[in-house]
A = this chain, B = another copy of it.
Amino acid sequence: MRDFSGGHEWLSINTATVRKQNGVEQPLPVILDACARHGIRAVSPWRDQVQAVGLAETVRLLGAHGLALSGYCRGGMFTAVDAAGLREARDDNRRAVDEACELQAACLVLVVGALPGALQGRAAHKDLALARSQVRDGIAELLEYARARAMPLAIEPLHPMYAADRACVNTLEQALDLCDALDPTTGTGRLDRPDVAALGVAVDVYHVWWDPKLEAQIARAGKDRLLAFHVSDWLVPTRDMLNDRGMMGDGVIEIARLRGWVEAAGFAGYSEVEIFSTENWWKRPADRVLATCIERHCSVV
């Protein structure tokens, strides 16, 4: 297991973590500046942030700062109530793949979607099996498109508390079952990058820490399916189901133990910090948040 205590070369910042400072939304260039100032080598930006500044300008800024993308956040949301909605999702996901290629992202992270309309507070139906079937079909179709562009897709299982409205893939086992069904060829050669599969997973400790089968499923995933590793912490109590994620070390997740498992399976990429925190970190200056991320990366992750 890599020793992180001496530096933060394997720290990546998901830009959601500092999307607000002092409670105010920050444009991506400000966030990238701040990351560069702290000697951070990688980020994972959100599509809306990239779109606001423009893809070409984002590419330029990343180059100027020497920032890599540990992932691009995010594709998915495959479910819909009708064929038009499914087509719209397909087209939007293809654009996400194209953008990820321009940005030279390590992978496109997929938050797969769930019951259509639920995120807006009114589910169009309750048929979770149908949603899961649409997700499977959506990934299958996108995979062909992404494979041709050598952009790995990382299915991110989300915590079961998001099964209704954000993602109906809720365990690592379920995500890997999808990988094995849709991308059965293991080994090298499927992309121009022999080190990773065309379809893999993003392991976010916040979403999976509770899973009694986690260690076994991480081992099953192996090096070529483990495309991303995200860190934050589960607070007790958790006061908001979306925007109360903790800084590493402030909650109950054994983050270093989990990192040991992904590294034992062969993962050697970034630990990407992804925190949503309306009442805490988003209220603070970005410099303070990033300094804490670095300190905790070295002492906790």
Given contacts A160-B159, A236-B121, contact A212 B254 (CB under 8 A): no
Chain B residues near A121: list those with CB within 8 A. Answer: 236-237
B residues less than 8 Å from A253 (CB atoms): 126
* B interface footprint on A201-237 (CB within 8 Å = 1, 0 otherwise): 0000000011110000000000000000000001011
A236 pairs with B160, CB closer than 8 A: no
- The chain B residue with its CB closest to the CB of A117 is B236
Specify which chain B residues have a CB less than 8 angstroms from the CB of A212 in the assembled complex: 132, 170-171, 174
A127 at the interface (CB under 8 A from B): yes
For A174, list chain B residues within 8 Å (CB): 212
How far does the Cβ of A131 sit from chain B's closest Cβ, in whole Å?
A: 10
Q: How far is the CA of A127 from the CA of B128 in the complex (A)?
A: 33
- Closest chain-B Cβ to A94's Cβ sits at a distance in Å of 27
Is the CB of A153 closer than 8 A to any CB of chain B? no
Other than A128-B254, A163-B210, A237-B241, give 6 A-B pairs with Cβ distance below 8 A.
A118-B252, A126-B254, A160-B211, A161-B238, A163-B209, A164-B210
- Residues of chain A in range 97-140 having any CB-CB distance to chain B below 8 Å: 115, 118-119, 121-123, 126-128, 132
Residues of chain A from 236 to 265 with CB closer than 8 A to chain B in the complex:
236-238, 241, 251-254
> Are B123 and A236 touching (Cβ within 8 A)?
yes
**Contact-residue size bin, chain A (C-beta under 8 Å from the other chain):** 20 to 34
A159 CA / B123 CA spacing, docked (Å): 21
**How distant is the Cα of A197 from the Cα of B50 in the complex, in angstroms?**
57
Does residue A165 face the partner (Cβ distance < 8 Å to B)?
yes
Chain B nearest CB, measured from A158 CB (Å): 10
Q: List 27 A-B contacts (CB under 8 A).
A: A115-B236, A115-B252, A118-B236, A121-B236, A121-B237, A122-B236, A126-B254, A127-B254, A128-B210, A128-B252, A128-B254, A159-B160, A160-B161, A160-B211, A161-B161, A163-B209, A163-B210, A164-B210, A164-B234, A164-B236, A164-B251, A164-B252, A165-B237, A170-B210, A171-B212, A237-B241, A241-B241
